[in-house]
C-alpha cells in the first residue's frame, strides 16, 4: 500500500522540479547570448561575461550594444560593487 503512494509522490516531485529547470535554462540562455554580444569588444572578455551574467540574472535585462545604453535597464545601470563603482559592464 505504501509503495504506490511513495512512487506517486516521487513522480510528482520530479515533474514539479523539472518545470523549474526549464525556466532556469531558458533564462540562462538569454543572459549568455545577451552578455556575449555586450562583451564582444571587451578587453577582458571572461570577466565582462561573468559580471554581465550576474547583473542579467538579477535584473533580467542587458542593455543593447557593446557599451553605454544603460538607460535601457535602470537596475543594470544602478548596481554597484562593494567599492561603490558600477558592477555591470
Q: What is the pLDDT of residues 34-87, one digit of tens each?
A: 999 999 999 999 999 999 999 999 999 999 999 999 999 999 999 999 999 999
Q: Which of 76, 48, 47 is nearest to 60 (CA)?
A: 76
Q: Where does the pLDDT of residue 8 fall: very low under 50, low under 70, confident under 90, or very high at 90 and above?
A: confident
Q: Where does the pLDDT of residue 25 fall: very low under 50, low under 70, confident under 90, or very high at 90 and above?
A: very low
Q: Give the pLDDT confidence score for residue 80 in this predicted structure.
A: 94
Q: Which of 31, 35, 12 is nearest to 23 (CA)?
A: 31
**pLDDT above 60: residue 18:** no
Residues 6+ positions from 81 with CB-CB distance below 8 Å: 87
**Rounded to the nearest 10 degrees, how much is the dihedral formed by the CA atoms of 73, 57, 20, 10?**
-160
Cβ neighbours of 31 (radius 10 Å): 23
Amino acid at each position: 500500500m505504501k509503495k504506490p503512494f511513495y512512487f506517486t509522490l516521487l513522480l510528482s516531485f520530479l515533474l514539479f522540479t523539472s518545470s523549474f529547470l526549464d525556466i532556469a535554462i531558458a533564462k540562462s540562455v538569454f543572459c549568455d547570448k545577451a552578455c556575449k554580444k555586450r562583451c564582444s569588444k571587451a578587453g577582458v572578455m571572461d570577466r565582462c561575461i561573468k559580471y554581465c551574467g550576474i547583473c542579467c540574472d538579477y535584473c533580467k535585462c542587458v542593455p543593447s550594444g557593446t557599451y553605454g545604453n544603460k538607460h535601457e535597464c535602470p537596475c543594470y545601470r544602478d548596481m554597484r560593487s562593494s567599492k561603490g563603482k558600477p558592477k555591470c559592464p
